[in-house]
Structure 1
Amino acid sequence: MAQDHSSPAQPSTSPPLRIALAGLGTVGAGMIRLLETNADIVRARAGRPLEIVAVSARDRSKNRGVDISRFAWEDDMTAMAARGDVDVVVELVGGSDGPALTLARNTIAAGKGLVTANKAMIAHHGMELARLAEAAPAPLKFEAAVAGGIPVVKGLREGTAANAIERIYGILNGTSNYILSTMEATGADFSAVLAEAQAKGYAEADPTFDVGGIDAAHKLSILAGIAFGTCIDFGNVECEGITGVRAADIAQADALGYVIRLIGMADVETGGDGTQRLLQRVKPCLVPKGHPLAHVTGATNAVVAEGNFSGRLLFQGAGAGDGPTASAVVADLIDIARGETSAPFSIPVAEMVAMEPAGSGARTGRTYLRFTVTDRPGVLAEITAAMRDAGVSIESLIQQGRVSEGGEVLVAMVAHEGPEKNIARALALLEASPSLTATPLVMQIISG
């Protein structure tokens, strides 16, 4: 038998990639633990060691479960960019502006790499930072800013690079998905499940960014920029959260063969004049039980990308947490250690187009509507007359029983496929009606 005379793998002799870490919360501490636990794996895949040399946070004395005494400490995190012993700065502080943005600008201006998990900063200032990075040149990476540990940014930038993306959509906020899927499993109403999620640490004390859809809108605008080669346009994302969804809506969706999920969706429409317009919206939707997104429960994220040659691709996994998010941050650091410095949004900023926003009125589809009305004769006829006058064809209608001593009832209906502008017209006709005691809930039905 021939003997194996090959030499064992030798440690890399390349100089380490020297890292400054701003932010020592759960993700920052998780990144330190990952680099310690998987040091050999990371070194082998990066071709060189990854070494933290400096850190910064609000409280130096706080116990974070990791040893930070071996790292240099900076009280002012924005000064980290000027350190001569730093190659890359990792920003895990958050916030669209303020010190995080100052640090990002300073880092890139110094010609150093920037890795960030800050979806708000990228959504608001991503185009500016990408221009600066391309001019420096310096690497700018933000895999952890979208969907935590799911490599969807890399998947779009690299895995689907040969495709024209026709549509991208998915579940982009784990807190909202946890609340909706728990309502589905338990029958509890929104407020009760939100309180439970806050007690368990799944939701913030102020959950507005999550349940209001803003967090998902930040992520959607970033994904749309990569998928369609368009300038990030967070300001034109149509955004509606899940605060209006009731347990009765969950039960009615179930009876119809659907689940309710907060869906971020973006696609490009081409008008008759050849002008391309970008539709971006975050809304609760009815998802068929046979669709992959219907089976995404808990604090999980999932993104569907539809390419003209690849077909439907599903990216699914933990959308937050110390381990998954730290994994995405370190993956970006490994790319930088390897010398990967391509355009942050896959194509140069100068080649990205600023598309006009597309209105959703001309879109066609089936729609679920729920009205909260007074329990008196003639209300149902009033609603159906408005639908008729607006050109909305009713597929099914359910009037549910008295839900309170005040006499309110819920009227739920599914409209046949038709233009969304007709639904808006019907709601406008009903806007001044004294019969409606709350704003109607309107949810699009996702096709299978």
Structure 2
Amino acid sequence: MSTFTQAQRAGVVRVALLGCGTVGAQVVRLLREHAEEFAARSGARLELVGIAVRDTAAERQPWVPRELLTDDAQGLVRRADVVVELIGGIEPARTLVLAALENGASVVTGNKALLAAHGPALHGAAEASGADLYYEAAVAGAVPVVYGLRESLAGDNVTAVLGIVNGTTNFILDEMATRGLGFDEALALAQELGYAEADPTADVDGHDAAAKAAILASLAFHTRVGIEDVPVTGIRDITAEDMAAAQESGYVIKLLAVARRVTDDGTRGISVRVHPALVPATHPLAAVHGAFNAVLIEAESAGRLMFYGQGAGGAPTASAVLSDLVAAAAHKIHGGNAPRESTYAQMPLLGPEATPARTQVQLRIADKPGTLAAVASVYGQHGVSIESVRQQRPADEDARIVIVSHEATEAALADTVAKLSEEPRVHEVISVTRVEGE
């Protein structure tokens, strides 16, 4: 267990900040503006003892004290009671966070990539030294979903988590749905407004959401889930035509992080996925617009809960960081610890042969008698039941149909689509989109 430092005995908790970008600068501002309130809430004065940055000469926000800037992150970590890590990425963040925890300093981080890749090692280091590891800001910015899963729902059994956890992709898809923009146009607008990076790969290809999905699934199901365990499909292939077809069917398309506990038909395990999905227009997640985030949780006793708010931005994310910082500081003064990693369930991760799913498939088919029967036969051969068939207005001499399936396994649905693509009367499989939220 960690021991009190001289500063802690004097009612002071020394805080080291690693990184001073958009979020870090807001953490500094709020720490200075609300110092008395944070002291009252935590029971200690939070003293910022240093800010580690790559370039101490770079221009900073006017409220950032230049005398606290240092390029010696290792030295700074060794003289802190709580380390706030906002560097991002894996290295040097991993080395610095482990050094802090091993030295008995608690850590507050917003680094979802680090947690998804090295969560077990970080939790182990925190437990060994008696330090806290907090990471509310790693998922959905200011939205307190980590606290909700880790503490508020500790007395319940979570059955499913569906989340819009990447504001960039939600903004892009929302612009495509509401304004009829193509993907490239919507991405360019997101970049112009600062919602998307110059290199948007991590967002639009779903990797950012996958890291968050791994964290959410680990918390919800008390099972270690890493980013490598999360199959990912991004949004690059979503077209304006897909959005229009979704609206005609009463759906909207969202990029979702989906985690479920499956205990049906002798199957026991969890499925974790990130993919674009059709969500009914009446579903709560369908009303999440712009760059906002939302996470919907279903639990056995509590029922359906929704966490909604700003998932990015300097001040909203700093709010989550400071909430964790106040809690970590209070523990340094009064004793106690953050909840430890809970992995008792050790549920297996399900492959496609056991993962339940529903799909909507758009087909261009020969407009001849017997074609629909042939298509339905392919579904039947693979044990997939059809919920609905709708014919769209043809753009050429072929017919276009939209088929929504009942729930089947991902493997059976994939085999069905593969066989459809070989059927002579099916001229094109236009799109395949999962259906969620029903």
TM-score by length of 2: 0.88
* Deviation for aligned residue 1:291: 1.3
Aligned residue in 1 for 2:293: 301
Are positions 1:106 and 2:96 aligned together?
A: no
CA distance in 1, matches of 2:239, 2:399: 10
Aligned residue in 2 for 1:8: none
Aligned residue in 1 for 2:349: 357
Are positions 1:75 and 2:81 aligned together?
A: no
| Contact 1:364 1:417 survives alignment (8 Å) | no
Report Cα offsets for 1:93-130 as digits up to 9, x if no partner.
111x2201110111111111111100000001011100
Alignment of 1:136-175 (within 5 A): 136-175=129-168
Are positions 1:94 and 2:92 aligned together?
A: no
| Contact 2:366 2:426 survives alignment (8 Å) | no
Q: Which amino acid letter does the alignment assign opposite residue 215 of structure 2?
A: I
Aligned residue in 1 for 2:237: 244
Secondary structure, in 3 states, of the residue corresponding to 1:238? coil
| Contact 1:365 1:444 survives alignment (8 Å) | yes
Aligned residue in 2 for 1:126: 119
How has the CA–CA distance of structure 1 residues 246 and 319 changed in structure 2, closer, same or farther, with 3 Å as cutoff? same
Aligned residue in 1 for 2:403: 414
Report Cα offsets for 1:332-367 as digits up to 9, x if no partner.
0100111177676x4445x53433211344455542
How has the CA–CA distance of structure 1 residues 435 and 63 changed in structure 2, closer, same or farther, with 3 Å as cutoff? farther
Q: Which amino acid letter does the alignment assign opposite residue 230 of structure 2?
A: V
* Deviation for aligned residue 1:440: 5.0
How has the CA–CA distance of structure 1 residues 139 and 447 changed in structure 2, closer, same or farther, with 3 Å as cutoff? closer
Report Cα offsets for 1:253-288 as digits up to 9, x if no partner.
111111111111112223666x73110011111111
* Deviation for aligned residue 1:384: 5.5
Alignment of 1:393-432 (within 5 A): 393=386, 395-399=388-392, 401-402=394-395, 411-420=400-409, 421-431=411-421
Gaps of 5+ in 1: 1-11
Report Cα offsets for 1:282-307 as digits up to 9, x if no partner.
11111112211111001111011122
Report Cα offsets for 1:221-275 as digits up to 9, x if no partner.
11111111111232121211111111111111111111111111112223666x7
Moved more, 263-272 or 151-160: 263-272
CA distance in 2, matches of 1:331, 1:191: 37
CA distance in 2, matches of 1:281, 1:412: 27
* Deviation for aligned residue 1:145: 0.4
How has the CA–CA distance of structure 1 residues 439 and 54 changed in structure 2, closer, same or farther, with 3 Å as cutoff? farther
Cα RMSD for the two superposed structures: 2.9
User: How many corresponding residue pairs?
Assistant: 426
Report Cα offsets for 1:50-80 as digits up to 9, x if no partner.
2211011122222222333354332132332
Q: Which amino acid letter does the alignment assign opposite residue 404 of structure 2?
A: A
Secondary structure, in 3 states, of the residue corresponding to 1:191? helix
Aligned residue in 2 for 1:6: none
How has the CA–CA distance of structure 1 residues 379 and 111 changed in structure 2, closer, same or farther, with 3 Å as cutoff? farther
CA distance in 2, matches of 1:438, 1:20: 58
How has the CA–CA distance of structure 1 residues 432 and 209 changed in structure 2, closer, same or farther, with 3 Å as cutoff? farther
Report Cα offsets for 1:150-195 as digits up to 9, x if no partner.
1111111221121111111111111110011111110111111011
Secondary structure, in 3 states, of the residue corresponding to 2:92? helix
| Contact 1:130 1:343 survives alignment (8 Å) | no
How has the CA–CA distance of structure 1 residues 172 and 112 changed in structure 2, closer, same or farther, with 3 Å as cutoff? same
Secondary structure, in 3 states, of the residue corresponding to 1:356? coil
| Contact 1:399 1:409 survives alignment (8 Å) | no
Gaps of 5+ in 2: 1-7
TM-score by length of 1: 0.86
